[in-house]
């Protein structure tokens, strides 16, 4: 039973009731069916009784008027789908949401099937009603009646995975998925070489191996509005052959509502079908929407902020292709959500379950091989630690196994990520956290020895650049020391000589540290430091700045310790954050530029209110590298760095601007949280200059070394 308050009479309630052949409401249902035979089609009374006996009729009951509508449906077990036979509301109650109320209940009780289908005559002109109810016009056929009217088949998809959706997903994994708007679809369809050059430039030969152009089902609802049935068939065939059609989740209607509200608030009048097309794109977890609609392009920042969908013109897509690929493959901000990402131990008996997510079939690994390996690790818990990353109680996202047998090396014999849009982001974070773990445990190396590394993992290893291919896996040097270039060089020579042939890469880095200009070459010094991360070259000329940051932003951007002090604990993106962007005023930046090191000073006191609810503020809590410093307009910077930030556009607009209206974006990475925060009073004693902690301040290398050694 489901209740529904009447739209026009607040005191009246409408409820759903499933009826059987003995129900007192069945005669009313039959009477309504007979009265609406012209639109519903003929159904003899025996069929009504048969459907009622099976429980395939339910009614909408008004507390005063009685039965005011009904649904009659069938179930085809062979295809696991439902068919809507009758949807009928009493004439006096039409236009009051009764049909939607009935259909919502049908969607709810049939959600485990593939979906709901129905045939509707074209001349009834009910297209808008059906697509507003979430249905898609799939195809047409001539009816069996004497007049041979066209019937449109409408389909509501429940979004379950099947053979076709799996094939589409695999097709998308190797290319950048781009959803085109309805206007671009129409312009590409028109077979003219000279017109619509911008839209048609998307189909240049060289782009076909890079991009997978997609549509959503809403394109077919646009096509069904055309008057000519032959033209409808031509466009439908064109859409099916030329594009991958993405499937959306069941929450499309809620996305439509939220998106419509946003557009309305911004005064943007967008065609209803285009709004639904955009909503289906969002609901399919797509990340790129290509459009020529200037209103949507102007609202790109707001749409991304609310729905994590990037809006872009065709020309900009082509010119920014490489940058977009990198952005979309690495998006810490998309890890944010209402549930926690947690890393928990794997237990015996979970081998079969985990093989469903992490067996690397693409590299030839069998299910038996995967399970045998995992059983071995679980059987020797004194030597191995097996951890799985999951989101709440949902499916596992990643699996990592640590081998602790060697004092000088942390081994990773298994590193797997599931097939999801965030796998690239997640594996990069896991690799970085593994390096930090190895260094904190006073080990000098991290080695990945997994024999079945997926392409996503291999890409992350290559991009980390500090890993080197060796006989047994991929090796990374991680020295938790702050020493001169000469001291580091000697340390590496000792390690290479002591540990044997597999560690010959130590000699290569030792030689680099002896290069004549390594001390004065700032970028060269930073590059070597990162290869040996978290090692620090204390006699290099890498500048170091102390930058103040409010506790809220520190907790959101990098400080798990502060985040855990709040009511809600660490946000998901914090547990796996390696790279982020911080915004501040351009004024008093004191010559801050990349590359450099940062000591993050978390400001605020409880008296001032800025640090309310946080402990150990007014202290340096972390260090990192600055990769880029960019000055520009808030909206411009937001669009450029949106995949890295937890900021909203409104946050950027509140930052004090210079006379040109600009603010500063600081992109930073390789964040090390200090085990021992350094309070401001101790900082002032260490530093030879008076520190205000109000803006970026450059400090001497001696100060940095003392602070760093105290912190770690």
Percent helix, strand, coil in the chain, to 5, is: 40, 25, 35
Token readout for 126 is 């009910």
pLDDT score recorded for residue 569: 42
Cα–Cα distance list, 124 to 64, 69, 128, 206, 394 (Å): 31, 19, 11, 46, 44
Contact (CB, 8 A) for 615 and 679: no
Q: Which two tokens stand for residue 195?
A: 């017109």
Q: What is the pLDDT of residues 493-503, one digit of tens each?
A: 999 999 988 89
Bridge partners of 384, per DSSP, are 403
Query: Structure tokens of 202?
Result: 């998307």
163-329 classified as CATH 3.50.50.60: no
What is the side-by-side order of every strand in the sheet holding 445-448?
A: 341-345, 384-391, 396-403, 409-417, 445-448, 473-477, 468-470
Provide the pLDDT confidence category of residue 634 given band limits of 50, 70 and 90: very high
Distance between CA atoms of 177 and 100, rounded to whole angstroms?
A: 33
Per-residue pLDDT band at 449 (split at 50, 70, 90): very high
Helix (H, G, I), strand (E, B) or coil at 485: helix
Q: Do domains 3-113 and 381-387+397-537 have the same CATH topology?
A: yes
Domains of the chain, by residue range, sit at 3-113, 163-329, 381-387+397-537, 544-711
3-state secondary structure at position 84: strand
Whole-angstrom Cα distance, residue 273 to residue 293? 13
Could you tell me the pLDDT band of residue 564, with boundaries at 50, 70 and 90?
Answer: low
Tens digits of residue pLDDT in 159-195: 776 544 544 554 455 567 889 999 999 998 886 656 7
Q: What is the side-by-side strand order in the sheet with 176-180?
A: 244-246, 211-216, 176-180, 288-290, 310-312
CATH classification (class only), 381-387+397-537: alpha beta
Pairing of strands 409-417, 445-448: parallel
CATH architecture of 544-711: Roll (2.30)
Least confident of 92-96, 405-409, 494-498: 92-96
Provide the mean pLDDT of the chain. Answer: 86
In DSSP terms, 150 is beta-bridged to 142
How far apart are alpha carbons 127 and 232 in whole angstroms?
14
Q: Which residue has the higher pLDDT, 8 or 208?
A: 208
d(CA 432, CA 650) in angstroms, rounded, equals 31
**What CATH architecture is 3-113?**
3-Layer(aba) Sandwich (3.40)
Stated as kind and residue range, the H or E segment containing 554 is helix 551-557
User: 603-609: long-range contacts (C-beta < 8 A, 24 or more apart)?
Assistant: 603/548, 603/549, 603/550, 603/551, 603/693, 604/550, 604/551
In sequence order, what are the residues at sequence separation of 6 or more whose Cβ sits closer than 8 angstroms to the Cβ of residue 383? Answer: 403, 404, 405
pTM over 0.85: no
pLDDT of residue 652: 93
- pLDDT for the residue 339: 39
The pair of structure tokens assigned to 422 is 């965030």
b/e for 303-313, b at 16 or more Cβ within 10 A? bbbbbbbbbbb
Provide mean pLDDT across the span 62-66.
Answer: 89
Q: Count CB-CB contacts under 10 A for residue 661.
A: 9
Output the pLDDT for position 225: 92
User: Terminus-to-terminus CA distance in the chain, angstroms?
Assistant: 61
Distances (CA, A) of 377 to 75, 381, 385, 413: 47, 7, 7, 9
For residue 430, the surrounding DSSP H or E stretch is: helix 423-440
């Amino acid at each position: 039973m489901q209740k529904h308050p009447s739209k026009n009479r607040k005191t009246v309630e409408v409820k759903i009731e499933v009826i059987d052949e003995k129900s007192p409401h069945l005669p009313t249902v039959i009477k309504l069916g007979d009265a609406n035979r012209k639109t519903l089609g003929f159904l003899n009374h025996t069929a009504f009784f048969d459907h009622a006996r099976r429980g395939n009729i339910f009614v909408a009951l008004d507390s005063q008027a009685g039965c005011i509508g009904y649904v009659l449906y069938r179930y085809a077990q062979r295809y696991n789908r439902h068919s809507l036979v009758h949807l009928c509301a009493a004439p006096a109650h039409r236009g009051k949401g009764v049909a939607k109320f009935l259909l919502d209940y049908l969607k709810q009780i049939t959600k485990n099937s593939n979906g709901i289908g129905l045939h509707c005559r074209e001349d009834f002109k009910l297209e808008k009603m059906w697509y507003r109810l979430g249905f898609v016009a799939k195809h047409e056929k001539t009816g069996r009646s004497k007049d041979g009217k066209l019937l449109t088949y409408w389909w509501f998809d429940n979004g379950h995975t099947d053979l076709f959706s799996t094939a589409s997903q695999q097709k998308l994994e190797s290319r950048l998925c781009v959803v085109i708007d309805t206007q671009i679809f129409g312009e590409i369809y028109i077979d003219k070489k000279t017109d619509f050059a911008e839209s048609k430039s998307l189909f240049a030969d060289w782009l076909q191996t890079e991009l997978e152009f997609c549509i959503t089902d809403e394109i077919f609802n646009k096509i069904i509005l055309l008057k000519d049935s032959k033209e409808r068939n031509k466009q439908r065939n064109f859409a099916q052959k030329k594009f991958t059609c993405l499937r959306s989740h069941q929450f499309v209607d809620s996305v439509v509502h939220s998106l419509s509200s946003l557009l309305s608030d911004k005064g943007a009048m967008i065609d209803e079908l285009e709004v639904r097309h955009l909503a289906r794109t969002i609901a399919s977890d797509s990340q790129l929407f290509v459009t020529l609609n200037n209103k949507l392009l102007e609202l790109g920042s707001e749409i991304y902020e609310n729905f994590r969908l990037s809006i872009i013109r065709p020309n900009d897509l082509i010119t920014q292709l490489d940058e977009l690929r990198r952005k979309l493959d690495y998006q810490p901000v998309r890890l944010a959500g209402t549930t926690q990402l947690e890393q928990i131990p794997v237990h015996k008996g979970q081998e079969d379950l985990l093989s469903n997510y992490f067996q690397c079939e693409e590299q030839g690994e069998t299910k038996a091989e995967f399970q045998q390996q995992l059983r071995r690790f679980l059987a020797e818990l004194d030597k191995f630690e097996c951890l799985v990353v999951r989101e709440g109680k949902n499916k596992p996202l990643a699996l990592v196994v640590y081998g602790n047998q060697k004092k000088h090396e942390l081994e990773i014999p298994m590193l797997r990520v599931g097939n999801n849009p965030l796998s690239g982001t997640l594996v990069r974070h896991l690799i970085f956290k593994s390096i930090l773990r190895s260094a904190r445990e006073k080990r000098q190396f991290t080695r990945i020895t997994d024999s079945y590394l997926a392409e996503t993992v291999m890409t992350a290893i290559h991009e980390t650049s500090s890993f080197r291919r060796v006989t047994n896996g991929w090796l990374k040097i991680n020295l938790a020391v702050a020493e001169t270039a000469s001291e580091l060089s000697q340390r590496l020579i000792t390690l290479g000589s002591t540990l044997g042939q597999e560690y010959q890469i130590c000699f290569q880095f030792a030689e680099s540290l002896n290069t004549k200009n390594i001390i004065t070459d700032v970028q060269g010094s930073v590059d070597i430091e990162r290869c040996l991360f978290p090692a620090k070259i204390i006699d290099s000329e890498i500048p170091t700045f102390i930058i103040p940051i409010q506790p809220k932003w520190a907790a959101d951007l990098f400080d798990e310790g502060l985040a855990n002090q709040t009511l809600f604990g660490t946000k998901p993106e914090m547990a796996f954050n390696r790279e982020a962007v911080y915004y501040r005023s351009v004024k008093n930046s004191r010559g801050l530029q990349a590359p450099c090191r940062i000591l993050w000073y978390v400001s605020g006191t409880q008296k001032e209110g800025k640090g309310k609810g946080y402990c150990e503020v007014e202290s340096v809590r972390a260090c990192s590298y600055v990769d880029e410093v960019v000055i520009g307009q808030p909206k411009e910077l937001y669009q450029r760095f949106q995949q890295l930030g937890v900021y909203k556009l409104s946050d950027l607009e509140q930052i004090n601007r210079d006379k040109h209206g600009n603010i500063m974006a600081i992109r930073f990475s390789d964040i090390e949280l200090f085990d021992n925060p350094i309070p401001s009073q101790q900082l002032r004693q260490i530093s030879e200059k008076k520190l205000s902690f109000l803006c970026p301040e450059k400090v001497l290398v001696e100060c940095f070394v003392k602070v760093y050694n105290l912190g770690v």
